């Protein structure tokens, strides 16, 4: 029973991240990374590629959560706990690090200095 609850909860979290990834992928204006950051027009060089990169970041993280959900529901107990701690303990700190790489790749400092 606990394995099913684990799968449902982790599946829900993974589905949220998958949905966010798809939503960001399809946005027309630059997406932010949870901070509510406002972008000046032209600050992001290629909005489509920038959003696709951020969407893939969230989808990749959701894939880790899906794997954790399956591993935890199949093996349960200690293995499920360890996989969840590894997923979130490594994954969450990696998200802003990867975001900074994406942001720097598509950021146009000339536009930012004008404002």
Residue 110, φ and ψ in degrees, nearest 5: -65, -40
In tens, the pLDDT along 89-109 reads 999 999 999 999 999 999 988
Contact between residue 21 and residue 58 where contact means Cβ atoms under 8 Å apart: yes
Among 57, 73, 53, residue whose Cα is nearest residue 17: 57
Instruction: Count up the domains in the chain and report the number.
Output: 1
In tens, the pLDDT along 53-98 reads 999 999 999 999 999 999 988 988 788 889 989 999 999 999 999 9
Q: For position 20, what pLDDT does the model report?
A: 95
Got the DSSP string for 13-52? Answer: HHHHHHHHHHHHHH-SSPP--SS-----TTSBS-HHHHHH
Range of the domain at 100: 2-114
Burial zone of 92 (CB within 10 Å; 0-12 exposed, 13-18 middle, 19+ buried)? exposed
């Amino acid at each position: 029973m606990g394995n099913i609850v684990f799968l449902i909860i982790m599946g829900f979290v993974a589905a949220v991240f998958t949905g966010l990834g798809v939503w960001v992928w399809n946005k027309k204006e630059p997406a932010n990374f949870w901070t509510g950051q406002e972008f000046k027009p032209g600050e992001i060089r290629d909005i489509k590629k920038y959003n696709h990169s951020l969407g893939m970041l969230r989808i990749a993280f959701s894939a880790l959560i899906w794997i954790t959900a399956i591993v935890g529901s199949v093996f349960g107990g200690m293995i499920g706990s360890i996989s969840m701690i590894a997923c979130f303990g490594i994954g969450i700190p990696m998200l802003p690090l990867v975001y900074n790489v994406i942001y720097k790749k598509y950021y146009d400092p000339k536009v930012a200095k004008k404002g």
